[in-house]
Structure 1
Amino acid sequence: MERSGSGSSAGAGREGQGEAVDFRPLYRQVYHTLLRRLADAVWQPGQMLPSESQLASELGVSQGTVRKALDALTADSLLVRRQGRGTFAAEHDDKQSVFRFFKLRSDCEDSAAPQSRVVAIAEASASADERDRLALVRTARVVRIERLRSLDDKPCLIETIAVPLTLFPGLAAMDLPNTLYSLYANRFGITIAIAKERLKAVVLPRREADLLEVAEGKPAIEIDRVAFDLEERPVEWRLSTCITDSVHYLSVLR
């Protein structure tokens, strides 16, 4: 695939005290402490966390600081707040994964979930670009997946995905679901926490144009995404090319 272009404490001890110098806001220190516990599977998907007061007492911070950290984790879709019940580690179901990370929407008012068809899947030696984007050694191998994705039964995106073989053994032999991120979490214990995307305008080469059923040279958008797990490791590189005749890219900024 080629591109075109810790610890269990909050880090501050008692609020306003502590030996280590950490210039992040205290709630961000608590955020990363709780994030580490999620990464270490201290709380399984769907499991309820201790109460805000219990966490505050354990970490030596105020309940308000804990609440702010929990709010941030909830905003990042890593926790779920259920009124009257408590806070739970998020379960990585198909619907959540699709609409958190798939940003294309139909121009129609009601946008359905995308459909996917695997074009090719294989294990291979990592290319120079794959090694660079996934921080892999020269001898590393990857699972490389090519998929065609459609909205409202119209092909709109062709994507090539590379993941380290060491993290996803056996992936190439599986029947892949529509949403890979739920498979990563449920089968391999790897939760995608964040993804960084770069967009640029390109023109379609012949092969991609044929798969998308449009003319070669048609203008398109290239989406270059690296996805990171809870430990901030790059675990997936996804290079997507999409046409926007009847779809648009939607990003909600807060």
Structure 2
Amino acid sequence: MREQSSYLRIADVLGQRIADQEWSPGDQLPPRSQLAKECGVSEAVIRRAQEALIAKGVLEARSGAGTYVAHPRNRLLMVRGQEREQQESPFRADMAALGLKGTWDARSDAMVPAPADIAARLGVPEGDYCVRTAYEYLVDGKPSHLSTSWEPYSLTGGTLVVMPDGGPLAGKGVVRRMAEIGVTVSRARERTEPGHANAEEAVLLGVQRGALVTRIERTYYSDEGRAVETADIVVPAAGCAIEYEVPISPR
């Protein structure tokens, strides 16, 4: 417990020194041995303090070159709500409203057996075939966030919309694609949790391993109550702020 409180205290000290402009964005921090001596703690405590600041986006580690003060990044505002879902391409529309170019890379695999947690969310037996699509979203060519989507193959198999990013409705969004096969999407449910980027996510997002992220578990439902798609979305906390817009109907 003493070591934990020590590294958090040292993280605050280092953060304050950065705020006081002792070190500017792009500056390399002194060696850990020097910082440990200045702060009266071990190098292990300095390392953990630096890792905490890296996770917050205050510092960045450069392989073989040391630790540097990170350049401030303009955080994107990701608005989620009913009006957004009416867009055929919500992400592209969101970015266009900010004067930015939103694009994505996608890779779909058909007939992937649903793991237990995905099957539970979709309300299908474990092992049922799904179409899994991994998305890497980009803003002006730079990584924005990630998403892995699952759709029941029993619902879309044999139709023009079986591949979310292929065919005539490629990239049009779940609501528009499901409407094409006679399914009305009437609601979505989202659950958010804080987390840390794993090794693969860090590489794809261009952040440090362990950086703070927001994880969104989203599921779309038809007007008959059937889950038609579920997705796991990973948003870097240092790069995006998430805002929810909730419509209120007057009585």
Q: TM-score range, shorter-chain basis?
A: 0.5 to 0.7
- 2-side partners of 1:222 and 1:103: how far apart? 20
**2:54 paired residue number:** none
Q: Give 1:184 shift.
A: 2.5
| Root-mean-square deviation over aligned CA pairs | 3.2
2:212·2:238 contact (CA, 8 Å) conserved in 1? no
Residue 151 to residue 144, structure 1, CA distance change in 2 (3 Å) = same
Which of residues 131, 144, 157 in structure 2 aligns to 1:143?
131
Q: What is the rounded CA distance, in whole Å, between the counterparts of 2:149 and 2:205 in structure 1?
A: 17
The CA distance in 1 between the partners of 2:153 and 2:187, in whole Å, is 20
CA 1:210/1:178 → structure 2, altered by over 3 Å: closer, same or farther? same
1-side partners of 2:228 and 2:102: how far apart? 22
Q: Residues 132-171 of structure 1: matches in 2 within 5 Å?
A: 132-170=120-158, 171=162
* Cα distance in structure 1, aligned partners of 2:165 and 2:137: 18
Alignment partner, residue 46 of structure 1: none
**1:251 and 2:244 equivalent?**
yes
Deviation at 1:214, TM superposition (A): 1.6
User: Counterpart of 2:172?
Assistant: 179
- Provide closer, same or farther for how the CA distance between residues 134 and 109 of structure 1 changes in structure 2, counting only shifts above 3 A: closer
Q: 1:67: which partner in 2?
A: none
| 1:232 pairs with 2:225 | yes
Q: CA deviation at 1:97?
A: 3.7
C-alpha distance in structure 2 between counterparts of 1:104 and 1:208, whole Å? 25
Flag the 1:174–1:225 CA change in 2: closer, same or farther, 3 A: closer
1:167 aligned counterpart, secondary structure: helix
Distance 1:213 1:119, change over 3 A: farther
| Unaligned segments of structure 1, at least 5 residues | 1-74, 78-92
Structure 2 runs not aligned, ≥5 long: 1-80
TM-score, normalising length: structure 1? 0.55
> 1:174–1:159: structure 2 CA closer, same or farther, 3 Å change rule?
closer
Deviations 1:146-190 (A, max 9, x none): 11112333211111111110001142496262333222322x222
TM-score, length of structure 2 as denominator length: 0.55
Q: Provide the aligned length of Structure 1 versus Structure 2.
A: 161
